[in-house]
Amino acid sequence: MSDIDKLKLRRLDLSMLMIFVGLMRHRKATVVAENMGLTQSTISHALRRLRETLEDELFLRRPQGLEPTAFAIAIEPAVRQAIASLESALAGPAPFDPQSAQTTFRLGTSDLELATFVPALIEQLRRTAPHTRLLARALTRKDAKRALEEGEIDAALGYFWSPEDAFIQTTLKKENYRLVARAGHPIFKVRNRLAAYCAADHVIVSFAGDFRGIVDRALAERNLARRVAVSVPFFFPALASLSGTDLVATLPASLVVPFAGPFGLSHAEPPLAVRSFDIGLLIHSRNERNTALVWLRDQLLAKQIP
C-alpha cells in the first residue's frame, strides 16, 4: 500500500463507509439518515469528506435521487465486504437467554413453510421466548438469498439447492409429494391412475410464473406428458382452486396432509415417483456465530413436521 493510500485510509472511518453503502442501496440521503438515526447534515458532511478523501464525486444528484459514479459502483463490493468482515470480527458470541431476549427474528419463506413450520415455531417462541418477535416475509428463493446478503432478513426457510459459500444451510426435513384433488374425483377410483393423471388438467405452483415443474421432468423420463392448465405463485391458492373443479395437483405432503380436509380434498400417493427435496434453514455465513440464530435453528430442528 502506498503512502498516499495509507493517508486516505486514516481519513476514513466506519460510519462514513456505512453511509456510503446506505447511499448506494437507497440512493436517497433522507432514507439513509432515517435508517441510521442520523441527521441529513451528518450525511452531507460524511459524503463531502468521502468525496475529498477518495477524490471522486461518488454520487450525482438526479430528479429521482442520487446516481452513483462508475468509481462508486466499482468500490462498493469491497467496501460492503470490509464492513461485513468487521461486523463479524466484532460480534462475539454473546449468550442468548430466550426468557429475557427481546430479539426480532426476521424470516423469509414461502407459504408452504409459513403454514407448516411457522405455527409450531410461534408456539415455541410464545412459550420459551415470550419477549421475542417474529417477522415473516413471503419471498422467493432468489429474493430470500438477496435479502440475506443485504441483511434485510436473518434466516430463510425453504428449498435451496447448492447454496453458495456465503450461506450456511441446515436441513430440517425431507419433503415428499401427494396427489391431491376434490373429494370424489374420479382419479382416485380408476385402475390406471397414471393414464388418468396424464389426461387430467393440472395446477402447479411456480414462483417463476411458468407451466413446467419437477413432475414434468419425471414424466418426460418415461416419455409421458401432462397438461398444466393453471400456474399460481403460492400453495394455498393451488389448494383452494381444487375443491370446486376437476383439476388435480401434486403438492408437498406436509401441506396436503393437514389441509386437504378443510379444503374438501382427498389425496393419495402420486402414480409415479417424484424426487423428494429437503427443506432447510439458510443463514448468511457472517451470522454463523449468532447465538440467537443458533437457538432458532435448534427450535426448528426439535419440531417434528409431518
Tens-digit pLDDT profile for residues 234-288: 999 999 999 999 999 999 999 999 999 999 999 999 999 999 999 999 999 989 8
Whether the per-residue pLDDT at 5 is higher than 90: the answer is no
Q: Are 218 and 224 in contact (CB under 8 A)?
A: no
Q: For position 9, what pLDDT does the model report?
A: 72
What's the number of domains the chain is made of? 3
Closest by alpha carbon to 165, among 138, 147, 145?
A: 145
pLDDT in tens, 196-211: 999 999 999 998 889 9
pLDDT digit string, tens, across residues 76-108 = 999 988 888 887 777 666 689 999 999 999 999
Domain range for 71 is 3-90
C-alpha torsion sign, points 16, 105, 207, 272: positive
Report if residue 98 sits inside a domain.
no
The answer to whether residues 116 and 144 belong to one domain is: yes
Q: Do residues 144 and 208 share a domain?
A: no
95 in a structural domain: no
pLDDT on residue 15: 87
- First CA to last CA across the chain, in angstroms? 58
Contact 186, 278 (CB under 8 A): no
Do 40 and 74 fall into the same domain?
Answer: yes
Angle at 263 between CA 258 and CA 159, to 5 degrees: 50
pLDDT at residue 35 is higher than 90 = no
Distance between CA 15 and CA 21 in Å, rounded? 10
Query: Pick from 38, 62, 90: which residue ends a domain?
Result: 90
Checking if the pLDDT of 1 tops 60, the result is no
